[in-house]
Amino acid sequence: MSINPQALVNSLAKIGANVEIGAFCVIESDVVIGDGCRLESNVTIKQGVVIGKDNHIGTGVVIGGRPQHTAVKGVCGTVWIGDHNVFRENVTVHRAIKESDATVIGHNNYLMVNAHVAHDCKVGNDNVLVNNVMLGGHVQVGNRVNLGGAVGVHQFCRIGSLAMVGGLARVIQDVPPFVTVDGLTGRICGLNQIGLRRSGRTTEEIRILKEVYRLVFRSGLTWKEILKKLEDNYSIGPGAEMTQFLSATKRGIVSERHSVGRAPLRLLEDDNANENNEEEEIRTIRVNVG
């Protein structure tokens, strides 16, 4: 164990073997830090936090802050963090609202600069949260999810496994597993095929997921009819995770991005050859804008 003499570590905190704690860190009581963790300078670990082994916690990170919620009174919940996570500079993670609940972050996640995980969130394994990602309260994130820079996720939304959400997207409904969300529109624009291949999904499995995608987003069926067909045809196998996810949605799901087709665009043409200084000619052309 290596603790910088300028760090403040409460005597009631439980610090594992081979832990490094940098200058100006503050470790409060009722904290557990597992073996092999490395805390850079100015890290604050507040009460009610349990951290697993081999986590790298960057400068200015605050884990265990009280929930940003007006209903919080008295003792609040805890934070549970697994193994092999990276928290880059100024990441914040808040405790759950109720004493019996926990904010949970699993294993092998990479949280980049200034990312925020609010109270009662449940984050799975192998996820990447890019700079300035904001997870509202009670958000659930599956496994192998990639959230681009400055993505904002509304409270109580769910992000399915292997989803990829583009930077600056505003997520206000559930994002199903395996899809890509366009950052500009915040709409789904297809399957995350690169992520699926990297995860080891076979060509046949991806083909089945394409069938499921077409059924959900392009069949024209009602929501009740879609769920019935999913349960009848994809309750097991590669489509089962999508079926289970959609069946459990309470907020609805993000819709698919559709091309707006062709539309007239009026352009101003400056005729430099016009010696009589007549009015500039206006011509209308048709362009693809979707």
Q: Report yes or no on 268 lying in a domain.
A: no
Q: Report yes or no on 229 lying in a domain.
A: no
pLDDT at 258: 80
Q: Report yes or no on 83 lying in a domain.
A: yes
Q: Which of 58, 119, 124, 142 is catalytic?
A: 119
Confirm whether 126 is a catalytic residue: no
Question: Into how many domains does the chain fold?
Answer: 1
Q: Report yes or no on 237 lying in a domain.
A: no
Q: Which of 137, 186, 195, 239 is catalytic?
A: 137
Confirm whether 120 is a catalytic residue: yes
Residue in the structure block whose two tokens are 């789904």: 188
DSSP 65-124: EPPS-TT--SS--EEEE-SS-EE-TT-EEE--SSTT-EEEE-SS-EE-TT-EE-TT-EE-
Q: Which of 48, 116, 120, 239 is catalytic?
A: 120
Q: In this structure, are residues 78 and 50 in contact, taking their beta carbons and an 8 Å threshold? A: yes
Across the chain, which has 290 residues, the per-10-residue mean pLDDT values are 97 98 98 98 98 98 97 93 98 98 98 98 98 98 98 98 98 98 97 97 97 96 97 97 97 85 46 49 44
Q: Report yes or no on 36 lying in a domain.
A: yes
pTM attached to this predicted model:
0.89
Confirm whether 119 is a catalytic residue: yes
Q: Report yes or no on 287 lying in a domain.
A: no
Q: Report yes or no on 111 lying in a domain.
A: yes
184: domain range? 2-191
CATH code, domain with 90: 2.160.10.10
Q: Report yes or no on 257 lying in a domain.
A: no
